Amino acid sequence: MTFKDLSEYLQKLEKITSRNEMVVILAELFKKVSGDEIDKVIYLLQGRVAPLYEHIEFNIAEKSMVKAIAQAYGKDGKEILKDYKKVGDLGELAQNLSVKKDSKVTVGQVFESLQEVTDALGAGSVEKKMTILSNLLQSLDGLSARFVSRIPVNKLRLGFSDMTVIDSLSWMIAGDKSLRKDIEAKYNIRPDLGYISKTLKKKGIKGLDDVKPQVFTPILMARAERLSSGEEIIEKIGECAVEPKYDGFRLQAHFDGKTVKLVTRSLEDSTFMYPDVVEGIKKELSAKNVILEGEAIAYDTKTESFLPFQLTTQRKRKYGIEEKAKELPLKMLVFELLYLDGKNYIDEPYEKRREALKKIIKNGSDTIVLSEEKTISDPKKVEELFDVYMAEGLEGIVAKRLDGTYQAGARGWNWIKLKRSYSKSALDDTIDCVVLGYFYGKGKRTAFGIGAFLIGIYDEKHDKFMSIAKIGTGLTDDEWRELAKRGEKLKASEKPPLYEVDKNLFPDVWIEPEIVVEVRADEITRSPIHTAGRIMKASKSGSAFSVDVPGYALRFPRLERFRDDKKSSDATTLTEVTKMFKLQKK
């Protein structure tokens, strides 16, 4: 496929706001692409040349991209920079300057050139990157140049999620979304849409049967459902294993006998941050090839107690890592085994995973420690254990079904959390929300450029983000500055297609769905203006809509912390908020 052909599809997608229309257009594109190209097409649609979990970046600033465009078309750099400030879009700038009407450059050739850009490192790399990009732009027609020039600076942003692509792959094969569940289950084990699409294109849906855990390929982490009491937990899953719920860094560790890789919930490679955990895995595990999960928490060796998250979070840093590791050593409490020496443990019941885990973690280990666990069938003992762990400063408990498998990337009843006393008030717990946009500040906040921000939750059924609160108080000056800084980098030119927001709540600036914040509130209420769970009713004429069921809203919301360890799809779901709303009414 030529890149011009791909660009014509990108142009269609750029103009569409309906997710369903996007699914159909993407499916049409995927049908036309060959099995050898589809992975490259999907990476490019994501604005990348590798899966999201691989730390391969372009490292090109917008000004450098402007210079590359000027160089490509033989223009003066300062004049083109002025033009860019007027236009505000690198794609439009390149398209306006291009004189080529047609181009036979293939998707593969564009992909290879962009790979060369990411490979250029060290002294003189910026100049080399600009030369590669300018030569590439020279070879392209105007429409192709429009989209290629946006990719290295992360400005392609077509407004669809991984789930949209998965639905499109299902549509490509079956003509509908019926295969979504099957494809998503394998994607959760190998979150590489390029690999998944290539397998589907060449082998069909049966080809995904070969998708198994691989050391150094992150697996999307399982998530827990929630219930309000020990009685409900036992009623739901019967006798179960109860583990403490720690408040630290959830890590997935990959080890091949020599090398360790630590991955966060958001698929970020954090190996370099935690050298003590890395050394602990190398010295204290009896395994040659293993993937396991646990929670890393700062530990006070004098009092032999875990430290609060506010101290643990100081270990997340780029500089002074070794010094901070000595000051705040970590213990990794391991609670899951996903793969061991050639055997896939994801589909094994919890009891087998736990027994195998016990065999590879040495007794008396300093850093890598097996999580506590008790098998309980009495609801009262579940509640008692919950109280014990809360008194120790932990977050509560997680109950696990004894015959339950590990549900990668999904919430399910194999894990149930009783995180805080939901039986009294669901809002004793916090809610993870996505920042949808922000409003300009007034008075003192004009210095920050932001005075309030709009947050939303995830509607997993419709793959949408729905508004649930507007926050304008409770942040420190540093937190306002941090949010403004992050928001500036993620500005969207218009409302992202995955957002459903009432027009009366449109922010001054829309933000791409990448910032996740943990929010506390007094309670969940109903509001006709927020869209989370709102149902609209059309008039008889069909010309107007009124609110039939008001949406959910947070009363007195305030920021607890930024959740950099989570992706937007990890935000609290509409299903969860609905349950929390019902629980607080008990």
Q: What is the pLDDT of residues 42-81, one digit of tens each?
A: 999 999 999 989 989 999 999 999 999 999 999 998 899 9
Compute the Cα dihedral for 281, 286, 290, 295 and give only its sign: negative
Name which of 572, 419, 561 is nearest 478 in CA terms: 561
Six-digit token pair at 57?
């970046």
What are the b/e assignments for 529-562, b being 16+ CB within 10 Å?
A: bbbbbbeeeeeeeeeeeebeebbbbbeebebeeb
Mean pLDDT for the stretch of residues 304-324:
86
**What pLDDT sits at residue 425?**
46
Residue 79: exposure state from Cβ atoms within 10 A (0-12, 13-18, ≥19): exposed
Buried b vs exposed e over 347-369: b needs ≥16 C-beta within 10 Å? ebbbeebbebbeebbeeebebbb
* pLDDT (mean) for 29-34: 97
pLDDT value of position 429: 77
pLDDT band at residue 476 using 50, 70 and 90 as cut-offs: confident
Q: Tokens 């107007």 sit at which residue?
A: 544
Q: Give the integer Cα–Cα distance in Å for 459 and 466.
A: 7
Q: Rounded distance, CA 367 to CA 280, Å?
A: 5
DSSP 226-253: E-SSHHHHHHHH-SEEEEEE--SEEEEE
For 142, the 3-state DSSP assignment is helix
Does the pLDDT of residue 426 top 50, yes or no? Answer: no
DSSP letter, residue 508: S
Q: Any idea how long the chain is?
A: 586
Domains of the chain, with CATH numbers?
3-153 (1.10.3260.10), 223-423 (3.30.470.30), 427-583 (2.40.50.140)
Amino acid at 358: K
**Side chain identity at residue 413, one-letter code:** W
Query: What would the mean pLDDT of 103-118 be, rounded to a whole number?
Result: 96
Provide the mean pLDDT of the chain: 91
Per-residue confidence (pLDDT) for residue 187, from 0 to 100: 97
- pLDDT at site 421: 47
Annotate 469-504 with b (16+ C-beta within 10 A) or e (fewer): bbbbeebeeeebeebbeebeebebeebbbbbbbbee
Q: Give dist(CA 569, CA 332) in Å, integer.
A: 25
CA 473 to chain centre: 26
Q: What percent of the chain has pLDDT over 70?
A: 96
Contacts of 422 (CB under 8 A, 6+ apart): 226, 227, 228, 229, 428, 429, 580, 583
**What is the reported pLDDT for 493?**
83
Give the pLDDT confidence score for residue 363 in this predicted structure.
Answer: 75
Confidence check: pLDDT of 556 > 80: yes
Q: Which pLDDT tens digit goes with each residue over 378-410?
A: 999 999 999 999 888 888 899 999 999 999 998
* DSSP code, position 324: H
Contact in structure between 246 and 394 (CB atoms under 8 Å): yes
- The catalytic residue positions are 245
User: What's residue 461's pLDDT?
Assistant: 85
Burial class (CB in 10 A: 0-12, 13-18, 19+), 56: middle
User: Which residues have C-beta within 8 Å of that of residue 311, sequence separation ≥ 6?
Assistant: 298, 328
* Higher-scoring residue by pLDDT: 275, 15: 275
Is the CB of residue 94 less than 8 Å from the CB of residue 137? Answer: yes
pLDDT class for 156, splitting at 50, 70, 90?
Answer: confident
Q: Is the pLDDT of residue 508 over 60?
A: yes
Please report the pLDDT score of residue 228 as a whole number. Answer: 83
**pLDDT at residue 543 greater than cutoff 60:** no
Asked whether the predicted pLDDT for residue 24 surpasses 70, the reply is yes
Q: CB neighbours (10 Å) of residue 190? A: 22
The pTM of the full predicted model, rounded to 2 decimals, is 0.85
Rounded mean pLDDT, 547-576: 89
Confidence class of residue 423 from pLDDT cuts 50, 70 and 90?
very low
The pLDDT value given to residue 146: 96
First to last CA, the chain: 59
* pLDDT score for 422: 43
pLDDT confidence bin for 427, thresholds 50/70/90: low
Can you name the residues that pair with 339 across neighbouring β-strands?
291, 344
